[in-house]
Amino acid sequence: MKTDLTQALSTIRDEGRALGVDHLVSRNPTHVNYLTGCGVHSPGDAFILITPSNIVLFSDKRYEGTIRRVIADNPLIQMFIWDGLHPWDDLLSFVEPGQRVGFEKTSQYTTYNVVSKLQEAADKRGATLIGIDDIVMNVRMIKSPAEIALLQEAFKLSDDAFRYIMGQISVGQTEIEIAQALNAYMRKVSGTDELAFATIVASGENGDTPHATATDR
């Protein structure tokens, strides 16, 4: 499902202006995926700059093909492929001197090293770096009707999968075998190749571990 990017950007910009910033940078992979549709797994794979007019999606050659497909469907997203040497200077090149750039000060992806590099690039550009609350998270927390429908569909899939696997379990199967059967069923009926997290199947002494890892028990 695609995010209503026009509405999301409008809300983010309004909140950004209220906090005194013109641009916002995010390294959160979930934010990147939510706003651009480019699925990455690490903050080192890609990051975004939300500007007053669009989103600039920065990445390296590995994701160029994926990003080209993303931007073909959305003119609000612009691609920048970096050479890996000066990514923060590349980002600040989209910021005019005197403008204010916000970063997510409470994010787990905002490390000291990242902030120091951003500050260095901002100083060279004559821009101001400001730590702000995670306003993209605020937008993601309020679900649209389409997102609510998608969640309801996921809940139904989970219920159906549980009923299915309960009818398949037999004496002698291992936790791993049950987990694999459940994964295969969910992928088949959902049409996706990814699950929210590793499937938990726990029996016997493993049953009191909420986040157990399936074993050959």
Read off the pLDDT of residues 29-88 as tens digits, 9 standing for 90 and up. Answer: 999 999 998 888 788 889 999 999 999 999 988 888 988 988 888 889 999 998 777 889
Instruction: Give the tens place of pLDDT for each residue, 190-203.
Output: 777 677 788 999 99
Residue 1 has pLDDT above 60, yes or no: no
The pLDDT of residue 194 is 74
The pLDDT of residue 101 is 97
Q: Which is it for the CA torsion 42, 9, 138, 24, positive or negative?
A: positive
Place 184 in a pLDDT band, splitting at 50, 70 and 90.
very high
Residue with tokens 């920065």: 58
Please give the model's pTM, rounded to 2 decimal places.
Answer: 0.80
Q: Which amino acid is at 123?
A: D
- Evaluate whether 48 touches 71 at the Cβ level (below 8 Å): no
Residue 210 has pLDDT above 90, yes or no: no
Q: How far is CA 27 from CA 88, 94, 137, 188, 211, in A?
A: 12, 16, 12, 32, 27
The pLDDT of residue 181 is 94
Name the token pair of 25.
Answer: 């940078």
Instruction: Give the tens place of pLDDT for each residue, 108-134.
Output: 998 999 999 999 999 999 999 999 999
Name the token pair of 170.
Answer: 């037999």
Residue 146 has pLDDT above 90, yes or no: no
- The Cα 46–Cα 43 span in angstroms is 6
